[in-house]
Amino acid sequence: MLGETVITHDEIQRAVAVLAREIDADLEGREPVFICVLKGAVYFFTALTQRIRHPVVVDFIQASSYGATTESSGTVTLIKDVTVDIAGKDIYVVEDIVDTGLTLADVVALLQARHPRSVQVVALLSKPSRRKVQVRLDFVGFEIEDRFVVGFGLDFAERFRNLPEIREFVPDGEATP
């Protein structure tokens, strides 16, 4: 069931504006390709890239998701690859949330193998206490505690992505009385 609001829509928009300014300042002299990690990052990705003033190339990648549970399987498979040539380019991987870090570590390794000039990571949310592998996050909107959240792109079993805010989600049977 849906729980309390963790981050309001206004708070998200303000954080996105701050991140866009920081990233814009970083873009001077670069050839940026912004890669959205589908599906969860899509709302964050469109909000962020529209606020960036430098011209950027956008592309999309999709790795496997949790399915209908709130725990990572730890095995990441590529469902959709990027279509642009990223060799020599400055990559900004845009993620919704970094939890164990397993998905991101795999995505970054896959992209690094294609010899981009640089790879940086932009994440709307991070749950540092859940990390299983160390991944460098260059731009982060919010650090949150260990709770499962939905909304603004984040889902539980494909539901709740279109919520404008980020809310806690407690799977049935786990709710405290």
List contacts with ligand IMP (CB under 6 A).
40, 65-66, 72, 95-104, 148-150, 154
What tokens were used for 103?
């998905």
> What is the nearest approach in angstroms of ligand IMP to the Cβ of residue 69?
10
Q: What is the DSSP code string of 67-136?
A: -SSSS--S---EEE---S--TT-EEEEEEEEESSSHHHHHHHHHHHTT--SEEEEEEEEE-GGG-SS---
146 among known catalytic residues: no
3 vs 114, beta carbon nearer ligand IMP = 3
Contact (CB, 8 A) for 132 and 116: no
> What is the nearest approach in angstroms of ligand IMP to the Cβ of residue 61?
11
33 vs 125, beta carbon nearer ligand IMP = 125
Among the listed residues 90, 96, 99, 106, the single catalytic one is 99
Just list the catalytic residues. 99
